[in-house]
Amino acid sequence: MSDVIEQYFVKNEPYYRPVADEVKLYEAAYSVRMPMMLKGPTGCGKTRFVEYMAWKLGKPLITVACNEDMTASDLVGRFLLDAQGTRWQDGPLTTAARYGAICYLDEVVEARQDTTVVIHPLTDNRRVLPLEKKGELVGAHPDFQLVISYNPGYQSLMKDLKQSTKQRFGALDFNYPQHDIETEIVSHETGIDSAIADKLVSIAERARNLKGHGLDEGISTRMLIYAGNLIAKGVDVHAACRMALVRPITDDPDMRDALDAAVTTFF
């Protein structure tokens, strides 16, 4: 096994609490190498799920956090200058395609559309990646799979995936886990007891109901874990909730009051 790819194997089993039949469905999708789109709000478990699946399938995982400054070269690769002259360096997508990794493009809508189209030839039955600058056509390794994450809440008309991109993927919907499962996750990840985790989840549920009524996005599982970590360190629960749950998501004084009131309702 090439040492280029060795570093991308997930060595230890990531903690992942299944919420429905997503593990089975993903395994089926992988078995036919279907490109996958994981849809859902930020901080609800998409990245953790991919890490878990890569571990379970025993495949390397190459993750790319997408942003609007990213170019096709950042994905595919570029020529670098060194003492000997120029040398080609594969980008993360090329490395994944060559060596048979799962390539996870996180928050793919952040990337510009001219960047996104480079994935097209990899997601139809050609399964190839043209390196135009280098004049090479990379055939994808049989184990290669492309996975993207997509937050349907953020899209504007200007920033959305083209239908021609969307229709290349199978999709799994993710959301915040149901109450008892989320309590279990927060308690497991932070070590706080489930009675406190249960209250944190109830606060988050209040906030999630305010989405679209003054909040752009509810309190995520990730935020609950931050709060739980602070509480586990001995931080006062009210201070922990203010800092980890309320202040990050809104600057509006009335909304802050409403959320602070939810905190005092449960604690």
Alpha helices in 89-193 (DSSP H): 92-99, 113-116, 163-166, 179-190
Answer yes or no: are the C-beta atoms of 162 and 4 closer than 8 Å.
Answer: no
The token duo for 264 is: 């005092």
Distance of CA 1 to the CA centre of its chain: 27
Interface residue with ligand ADP, options 123, 187, 221, 250 (CB under 6 A)? 221
Task: Quote the least distance from Cβ 102 to ligand ADP, whole Å.
Answer: 15
How distant, in Å, are the alpha carbons of 178, 203, 250, 259 from that of 209? 14, 10, 14, 11
Strand, coil or helix: 89: strand
**Interface with Mg ion, residue 250, by CB under 5 A:** no
**Interface with ligand ADP, residue 147, by CB under 6 A:** no
Nearer to ligand ADP, 54 or 129 (CB): 54
Interface residue with ligand ADP, options 46, 98, 168, 199 (CB under 6 A)? 46
Distance of alpha carbon 50 from alpha carbon 83, whole angstroms: 39
**Interface with ligand ADP, residue 45, by CB under 6 A:** yes
Task: Quote the least distance from Cβ 47 to Mg ion, whole Å.
Answer: 3
How distant, in Å, are the alpha carbons of 111, 138, 236 from that of 160? 10, 28, 41
Task: Quote the least distance from Cβ 83 to Mg ion, whole Å.
Answer: 39
Q: Segment 37-96, which members bind Mg ion (CB under 5 A)?
A: 47
Residue range at the interface with ligand ADP (CB under 6 A); choices 1-9, 24-32, 42-50, 158-166? 42-50
In the chain the first and final C-alpha atoms are separated, in Å, by 53
The token duo for 224 is: 């609950």
**Interface with ligand ADP, residue 44, by CB under 6 A:** yes
**Interface with ligand ADP, residue 225, by CB under 6 A:** yes
- Positions of E strands within 93-169: 102-106, 128-131, 136-139, 145-150
Interface residue with ligand ADP, options 110, 189, 198, 217 (CB under 6 A)? 189
Give the gyration radius of the chain's Cα atoms.
Answer: 21
Task: Quote the least distance from Cβ 114 to ligand ADP, whole Å.
Answer: 25
**Interface with ligand ADP, residue 123, by CB under 6 A:** no
Q: Which does 91 bind (CB under 5 to 8 A by kind): ligand ADP, Mg ion, none?
A: none
Q: Segment 17-36, which members bind ligand ADP (CB under 6 A)?
A: 17, 19
Which residues of this protein are in contact with ligand ADP, per CB under 6 A? 15-17, 19, 40, 42-48, 177, 185, 189, 221-222, 225
Which residues of this protein are in contact with Mg ion, per CB under 5 A? 47
